[in-house]
């Protein structure tokens, strides 16, 4: 890449701001979603089933739509469609409250995430080179996480003035979602078809559709689980890396358990949400600097450092004696996220051929979603059986071992991997 060429291109900026506004909308509702569902008659068991179905839908669809994005050589239609689905699901959850309808709309929200995520990450990868992947993915994560910090702040302010008015928050969340949708109409697909197969999207022909389309013969059909075949064709480096990341995911339970740990120490709801906002602010503040540093010292080194930080946080969280120590651990947790979330996708995109970027990211995203469900279930069982302290210590020690696995893999298997 020539020195004069911009690293943060127009497309990278647009995609990042789309994510920012979408996360404002989503994170406004995150703290109050369980409370709202209980207020309309959902039991804790039904809430768990709802979230499990929704997240499973998102996870499995990430692989399929990532593969479809590569096969059809399109990004924008998938990105736009996914954000549209998520945005319109917000007010629909408040209009009707029948359980079947709530299941449909909540699943639509997560399905939209599945449609867009892999194509969006591939679009970011397409816009840069391996030397700048850390910066690009770090910048995107930074803006995305700023949205995740702004959202709960808006929720706190709204509920301060209008306590208990949960339904109106779903309508309020629709407006940042609309801004995100509008910004997607400024995106243009750079990916073009082969052998005269011209691909079009709403960004280039002025039209709009929730389904990607083409002006020539239809591209090959894609089976829903055909992305699983990527594992056999992927490079050894990709398989080593993803195996380690999935082992990590198995020990990385939902952040809800960290919030439960705060509640277990008798922190108020306001203070708990405040700590969550603090974590997101740290994450947002350090994501781009971590990406810049990763490009200098190596993406692998930064990823391993992040895993060691996670191990420290989870090992210490069960023994934190005060809010000050909790604050320090959540500061480290924000650093961990900044060092791993975008970096892991940058590494994966570097280990995949350009024509398979969305498929590779989609494969990892789908498998990670399955492992996340297993991790949270396992954490719940451990919490119930042996207590929260033991659960956090097991997770921390497990990730400590995963970090050493990756150190070994990166050091002794260089000949089997693409250089990062």
Please give the full DSSP string across 344-377, using - where no structure is assigned.
HHHHHHHTS-GGGHHHHHHHHHHHHHHHHHHHHH
Question: What local confidence, expressed as pLDDT, does residue 414 receive?
Answer: 61
| Residue ranges per structural domain of the chain | 10-190+230-412
d(CA 189, CA 344): 24
Identify the CA nearest to 148 among candidates 276, 13, 33, 254.
276
Q: Are 180 and 25 in contact (CB under 8 A)?
A: yes
Residue 403: pLDDT over 90 = yes
Taking each helix axis from N to C end, the angle separating 323-350 and 236-251, rounded to the nearest 10 degrees, works out to 160
Residue 201: pLDDT over 50 = no
Lowest mean pLDDT among 61-65, 347-351, 378-382: 378-382
- pLDDT band per the 50, 70, 90 thresholds, residue 203: very low
| Backbone φ and ψ of 413, nearest 5° | -125, 30
Which residues are paired to 234 by β-bridges? Answer: none
| Backbone φ and ψ of 200, nearest 5° | -125, 160
Residue 67: pLDDT over 50 = yes
Q: Are 139 and 291 in contact (CB under 8 A)?
A: yes
* Mean pLDDT score of the chain: 83
Residue with more model confidence, 23 or 191:
23
> Would you put residue 221 in left (φ > 0), alpha (ψ -120 to 50) or beta?
beta
pLDDT tens digits for 220-236?
677 777 887 888 888 88
pLDDT tens digits for 91-144?
998 888 888 898 898 889 889 998 999 999 999 988 888 888 989 999 999 999
Please name the fold of domain 10-190+230-412. Answer: Growth Hormone; Chain: A; (1.20.1250)
CB-based burial label for 241 (10 Å; 0-12, 13-18, 19+): buried
Contacts of 241 (CB under 8 A, 6+ apart): 347, 348, 351, 406, 409
Residue 310: pLDDT over 60 = yes
Question: What local confidence, expressed as pLDDT, does residue 220 receive?
Answer: 64
Residue with more model confidence, 201 or 287:
287
Residue 49: pLDDT over 90 = no
């Amino acid at each position: 890449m020539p020195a004069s060429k911009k690293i943060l291109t127009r497309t990278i900026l647009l995609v990042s701001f789309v994510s920012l506004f979408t996360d404002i909308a989503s994170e406004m509702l995150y703290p109050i979603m369980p409370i709202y569902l209980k207020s309309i008659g959902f039991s804790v068991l039904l809430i768990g089933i709802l979230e499990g179905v929704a997240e499973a839908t998102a996870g499995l669809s990430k692989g399929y739509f990532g593969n479809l994005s590569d096969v059809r050589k399109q990004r924008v239609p998938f990105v736009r469609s996914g954000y549209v689905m998520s945005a319109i699901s917000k007010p629909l959850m408040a209009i009707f409250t029948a359980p079947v309808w709530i299941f449909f709309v909540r699943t639509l929200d997560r399905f939209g995430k599945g449609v867009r995520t892999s194509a969006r990450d591939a679009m970011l990868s397409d816009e840069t080179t391996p030397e700048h992947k850390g910066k690009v993915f770090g910048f995107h994560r930074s803006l995305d996480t700023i949205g995740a910090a702004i959202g709960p702040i808006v929720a706190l302010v709204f509920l301060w003035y209008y306590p208990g008015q949960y339904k109106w928050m779903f309508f309020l969340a629709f407006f940042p979602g609309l801004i995100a949708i509008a910004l997607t109409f400024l995106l243009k697909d750079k990916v073009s078809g082969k052998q005269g197969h011209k691909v079009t999207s709403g960004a280039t022909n002025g039209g709009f559709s929730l389904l990607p389309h083409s002006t020539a013969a239809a591209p090959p059909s894609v089976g829903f689980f055909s992305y699983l075949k990527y594992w056999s064709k992927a490079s050894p480096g990709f398989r080593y890396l993803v195996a380690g990341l999935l082992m990590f995911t198995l020990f990385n339970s939902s952040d809800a358990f960290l919030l439960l740990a705060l509640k277990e120490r008798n922190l108020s709801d306001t203070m708990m949400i405040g700590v969550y906002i603090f974590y997101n602010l740290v994450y947002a503040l350090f994501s781009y600097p971590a990406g810049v540093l990763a490009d200098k010292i190596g993406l692998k080194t930064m990823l391993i450092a992040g895993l060691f930080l996670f191990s420290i946080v989870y090992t210490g969280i069960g023994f934190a004696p005060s809010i000050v120590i909790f604050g320090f651990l959540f500061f480290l947790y924000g650093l961990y996220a900044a060092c791993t979330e975008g970096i892991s996708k940058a590494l994966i995109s570097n280990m995949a051929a350009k024509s398979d970027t969305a498929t590779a990211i989609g494969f990892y995203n789908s498998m990670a979603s399955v492992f996340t469900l297993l991790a949270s279930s396992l954490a719940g069982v451990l919490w119930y059986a042996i207590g929260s302290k033991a659960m956090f210590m097991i997770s921390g020690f497990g990730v400590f071992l995963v970090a050493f696995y990756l150190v070994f893999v990166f050091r002794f298997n260089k000949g089997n991997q693409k250089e990062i």
